[in-house]
Copies of this chain bind each other. A is one copy, B any other.
Amino acid sequence: MKKLINNPADVLEDALHGFEVAHSNLVKVYRDPNYIICRESPVKGKVGLVSGGGAGHEPLHGGFVGRGMLDAACPGAIFTAPTGDQIYEATKAVEGGAGVLHIVKNYTGDILNFEMGAELCRDEGIEVETVVVNDDVAVKDSLYTAGRRGTGLTVMVEKIAGAAAREGKSLQEVARVARKVNEYGRSMGMALTSSTVPHVGTPNFELADDEIELGIGIHGEPGRKRLPLTNATGISKLLLDPILEDLPFKSGDSVLAFVNGMGGTPIIELYLMFGELMKYLDTKNITVERSLVGNYVTSLDMAGCSFTLLKLDKELKGYWDAPVKTSSLNW
């Protein structure tokens, strides 16, 4: 295992320290339990937004804490759900009197612990709504999930709900918008290589030099199938066909297209894949009105990518375009 780390057991703590000092103008990081909050939060009268999940997917979620997106993020241990206690403390810290929305990727541990955190908050009179993200069309049920997994679309849910909250919408309205994003969006990923969890020290799975894993999960959990390595055009079609069929996306639709790197894939390849995505959507008469390309929902050092499409309407486009100031999305 070749990594830029000290003690494998301390990777999250050490990285959180680096994140804290790199972005001290924007966020505060609390310990024991760990959570990251926006320096401006709580904002009186604004719905608070809290998300979280296992570490190893950076910049998700801490990189999206800031003005116009998340108020707080709860990083669990690597590939491990945050505890109810983290969620409880983060929720209390950002509650500004208008309730708090929990944005939860659909993994069994995350669902359970966010429920526990929400219950603790409700016991103290804090209103909490929960939105579950389950955009991954690759598999139903997996090593980490009952039902579909939550992956790349989480970025869009957090950005768009964050903009609605910033505009002063009510908790019910922010939750409605977040659920609409989940309803309108679909994702699928693939891996060229496995990731290696630091405290394990060996790859999560083995892929031959001429194999890819189609439908990979962001924890390296198995996908749909293993296939011989093919070219970018072929991989793009293998990812897009299931996404397009699932919603379904139709001729004439306008979408936001997101090509996400898994952590070990260079940016030149992500742009190349974005070009392939555009060419294929052109043949389907689907218009890409907004785009995002980069490493946003990673799986440690895995090489590979995921595609996310979100069907846009005027409301979602407006919230996507609204100003945002976080360490990883900024406009």
Contacts and interface: CB of A to CB of B under 8 A. Distances in A.
A135 interface: no
Contact of A5 (B17, B59, B231, B295): B231
A24 B288 CA distance: 11
Given A3-B192, A266-B300, A303-B2, A18 B330 contact: no
A285 interface: no
A139 interface: no
Interface string A288-308: 100101010010110111000
B272 A4 contact: yes
A2 B228 CA distance: 11
A31 to B, nearest CB: 14
Contact of A267 (B269, B274, B295): B295
Given A5-B231, A6-B233, A264-B264, A271 B301 contact: no
B58 A268 contact: yes
Given A2-B192, A2-B303, A14 B267 contact: no
Interface of A: 2-7, 11-12, 14-19, 21-23, 55-56, 58-59, 63, 192-193, 209, 212, 229, 231-233, 235, 263-276, 278, 288, 291, 293, 295, 298, 300-301, 303-305, 325, 330-331
Task: Report copies per complex.
Answer: 2
The 8 closest A-B pairs by CB, nearest first: A18-B275, A18-B271, A18-B274, A263-B266, A17-B275, A4-B269, A58-B267, A2-B192
A5 B269 contact: yes
